[in-house]
Structure 1
Amino acid sequence: MQVTSEAVSGVARRLNVSVPTSRINEQFEARLKRTAKTVKINGFRQGKVPVNVVRREYGAGIYQEVVNDIIRDTVFEAIQQEKINAVGMPNIEKTEMKDDALVFEATVEVYPEVEAKFEGLEVERKSTEVTDKDVDQMIENLQKQRASWAETKGMAKKDMQVTFDFEGSIDGEKFEGGAAQDFKLVLGSNRMIPGFEDGIIGMKKGEEKVIDVTFPEDYQAENLAGKTAQFKINVKLVEKQKLPEIDAEFLKIFGLTEEEGVEKLKADVRKNMEREVKNGLRNQVKGATFDALVAANEVEIPASMLAQEIDRQRQQMIQQFTQQFGAQGAKAFDSSMLPDDLFKEQAEKAVKLGVLVSKVLADAKIEVDAARVDAYIEEMASSYEDPTEVIAYFNNDKQQRAQIEGVVLEDQVVDFILNSAKVTEKTVSYEDLLKEQQARQQG
């Protein structure tokens, strides 16, 4: 077999392969003999059909099968022979049968070759600390999660719950989904379109009024997008939030006794918040470093790698949808509702990052630090009631430990890049750090 190859792009190679006809004929004759032992032809006993009869009856089809199989086999032999780091399946483009050889062309995508440049990258590394005020706010949030509601005769204000009827219309015409009865809404929750909640603030029980609200230009219902609607509001009940006392019953929810008291609750809450901050800061600097790495390096992406990543992200979203709405809800879900364009930008970034991180790992010969993996697992386990059980789980399950090793290896890459980067430090509040993390997860 003779092979030549040439680059047709940064991520594709064209192979020219020539296979001697003697190889084809040899396999053809062998397959004719095997077929003669199993084929059924009228006038002959099974297993006793002459090869020449099989050649006459089935020769053309068998010969084509042999040619197809040889093309399939030799294209991969050619890839190995040329030491091509292929991704995806090769595409056979031209096939020609000559007197002495079968000649064909194939194009195969290859793993991108890059130089990961990170000297002089600018990365912002944030820091924060949990203050007493942050702890008090978190405890208040815990109280709000278990709050009750008490009727008030006063005006509706932010953080109050209002029960009301509403009926919407546009130019005097009602529209689908524009009405509800006994609708409950906590003002300030931003559940409704902009301006709707503002129109209710200041109303009292028994009061009615009409408010004008304009639907956003990108509203999901195209027939309503950008249009101004009139909503008739009838307030039936205004309730003020009543927070539970931090008493023995409240402390019991968090596994604390009355003797341990609120100070122990604050200490536990602070510990959890500081663990959350540590993870948040780790993710922040990792995200900032990887964003800078991708922005500073040109990476040509093979179409097959992009397609695989798009499909992975699509399947991940379908899985999340199934977990959220259950199997019954998932039945009504059609993957065609998730076109490639929905994932393309994030998929391109993910593929580029994967290529660049792999290059950094290879060039710097970075191997996973087992001690850091153990420390990561111990830190994660410390938030559980029985840390030793969690540690044993990750150490005994190779797949679970491998996932942690992947996270730690990324952290090691980040540390390596930051040694050559221009790092600026910025102090942020606990609240701002959480907001940034939420925005990154949603993005």
Structure 2
Amino acid sequence: MQVKETQNDGLKRGYTITVTAAELDDKVVGKLKEAQPEVEMKGFRKGKVPMAMMRKQFGPRLMGEAMQEAIDGALNEHMTTSGDRPAAQPEMKMANEDWKEGDDVVVNVSYEKLPDVPETDLSKVKLERMVVKADDSAVEEALKNLAESPQAVAYEAKDAAAENNDQVVIDFVGKIDGEAFEGGAGDDYPLVLGSNSFIPGFEDQLVGTKAGEEKAVTVSFPAEYQAAHLAGKEAVFDVTVKEVRAANAPEIDDELAKKFGAEDLDALKGQIRERLEAEYNGASRAIAKRKLLDELDTLVSFDLPESLVEAEANQIAHQLWHEENPDVQGHDHPEINPTDEHKTLAQRRVKLGLLLADIGQNAEVKVSDQEMTQAIMNQARQYPGQERQFFEFVQQNAQFRQQLQAPMFEDKVVDHIFEKATVTEKTVTKEELQTAVEALESED
């Protein structure tokens, strides 16, 4: 077996792998001898079938297996020896397409290898991280919102027309093309108008209704609706308003605190302060992460595999096109070509992805089985009543598991870099933090 280099240009590599006819024949014979003790044929006892007859019967199929094993083995041995890590599946093509038994097998192999990422001195990374403390006014505002929430508010019947934040008690039956559909009906359902708990547009059409009124509510299910048979469909709901109730917010006191599982009002305020500061910290981390990625993008430079950049640019262009054309669900659309802007963004993503992967590998960063299980359970909660099917889907879909794991791994690597970098804290107001968040979102 011979491996001859035919291309060495940047990250591009090309090789010719030659497996001689004698090597192939030895592999076929070896496979036949291995199988011989268990082979039975008419006229021969088990294990006594002549090699010539076995070769005639099984030789062609075993030849194909031997060829594949020999080529795969040669390629794997080359990767181990060279240390190359292909950026994508190597392209393999028979050089002698008119091959016949007795000929050598010659295969051309080409791929782009992943680059050697230069070592980065993370201590040279300097970042500023915003810190926001939850002040009393923020806690009081959150308390007021809790007191006005559906969980806390008591509702009292009223004769006037329904307004936003009122609760209406309704019976409803949903129909598509005049036919009622499963899961589209309910009786005595308490719906708070403005809560956005029903399909977009449904609650708006009940504003102004009164007790005893019947109304046909026409809405369209979102294109991304979890029930595929309803997604994008127009439905008409026959609604009977049985009662209209006005919201009556409770006093902000210990009794309110107990409704939310706190011992008293002071304990509830403490919980609110912790939650607010956790939200502030999350926003602050997102801003610091973007600054970190910008810093790394400037700090480190290395060659990028063209195939990965091209694939990423195509994906970006495709995703943005569908966001601009939400009515097109499938792939029946004009050809989408990436722009220079898409390619620049793709280069950044590929570069940072390879860099973070290298830093994480060197630091032995791993996503534990427990963390993966928790992530899967969190995802499953988005499909109430279908959790079992979701778990089965995840178990059978390695690509989806990788999609779940990738952002978790990235966040752990980012946290590792934060620990190594020089990070200074700057105390700011929540308004300043919000402005920074809005600026970050406008860049996306």
TM exceeding 0.5: yes
Residue 93 of structure 2 aligns to a residue whose secondary structure is strand
Conservation of the 8 A alpha-carbon contact between 1:6 and 1:15:
yes
Give the distance between the partners of 1:21 and 1:141, measured in 2 at CA: 80
Task: Select between 107-116 and 353-362 the one with higher mean Cα deviation.
Answer: 107-116
- Deviation string for 1:120-163 (max 9, x for gaps)? 99999554331212212323344322322112345544322245
1:105 paired with 2:108, answer yes
Match of 2:132 among 128, 131, 144: 128
AA at the equivalent of 2:282: N
Aligned to 2:381: none
- Alpha-carbon distance, 1:429 to partner: 3.6
Q: CA 1:26–1:240 in 2, change beyond 3 Å: closer, same or farther?
A: same
CA contact (8 A) 1:88 1:109 kept: yes
**Residue aligned with 1:105, SS:** strand
Post-superposition offset of 1:104: 1.2
Q: Map of 1:348-387 to 2, 5 A cutoff?
A: 353-359=352-358
Q: Which residue, out of 260, 279, 282, partners 1:279?
A: 282
The code of the aligned residue for 1:354 comes to: G
Deviation at 1:17, TM superposition (A): 0.8
Which runs of no fewer than 5 residues in structure 1 stay unpaired?
311-336, 369-402
1:160 equivalent in structure 2 = 166
Instruction: Output the TM-score relative to the length of structure 1.
Output: 0.56
- 3-state DSSP of counterpart to 1:86: coil
* Rounded Cα–Cα distance in structure 2 between residues aligned with 1:208 and 1:47: 83
Gaps of 5+ in 2: 226-230, 316-328, 366-406
Residues 34, 239 of structure 1: CA spacing in aligned structure 2 closer, same or farther, 3 A cutoff? closer
Q: Which residue number corresponds to residue 67 of structure 2?
A: 67
3-state SS of paired residue (2:133): coil
Q: Structure 2 vs 1, CA of residues 412 and 147 (structure 1 numbering), >3 Å: closer, same or farther? A: same
Distance 1:95 1:409 in 2: 44
Cα distance, 1:79 vs. partner?
Answer: 2.5
Aligned-partner SS, 1:92: strand
2:245 corresponds in structure 1 to 239
Residue identity matched to 2:415: D
Structure 1 position 17 matched with structure 2 position 21? no
Structure 1 counterpart of 2:417, one-letter code: V
Structure 1 position 239, deviation (Å): 2.0
Give the whole-Å Cα distance in 1 for the aligned partners of 2:106 and 2:215: 82
Pairs aligned (count): 359
SS, match of residue 14 in structure 1: strand
User: What SS does structure 1 have at the residue aligned with 2:19?
Assistant: strand
What pairs with 1:396-407 in structure 2 (closer than 5 Å)? 407=411
Name the SS of the counterpart of 1:17 in structure 2: strand
Q: Judge conservation of contact 1:135–1:269 (CA < 8 Å) in 2.
A: yes
Determine the C-alpha separation between the residues in 1 that align with 2:48 and 2:178. 83
The DSSP-based 3-state class of the residue aligned with 1:240 is: strand
- The residue type equivalent to 1:132 in the other structure is D
**Structure-to-structure mapping, 1:251-266, within 5 angstroms:** 251-252=257-258, 257=263, 261-266=264-269
CA distance in structure 1 between the partners assigned to 2:210 and 2:121 by the alignment: 61
Name the CA distance, whole Å, in 1 between partners of 2:416 and 2:65: 51
8 A Cα contact 1:277 1:430, kept in partner: no
Q: Deviations over 1:164-185 (max 9, x none)?
A: 68999xxxx9999999997754
Matched, 1:84 2:84: yes
Q: What code does the residue aligned with 1:279 have?
A: G
How do 1:292-441 and structure 2 match up within 5 A? 300=305, 302=307, 353-359=352-358, 407-414=411-418, 427-429=429-431, 432=434
Q: Quick one: percent identity of the two aligned structures?
A: 27
Correspondent of 1:140 among 144, 151, 166: 144
Aligned to 1:331: none
1:387 corresponding residue in structure 2:
none
* C-alpha distance 53-76 of structure 1, shift in aligned 2 (>3 A): same
Q: CA 1:110–1:271 in 2, change beyond 3 Å: closer, same or farther?
A: same
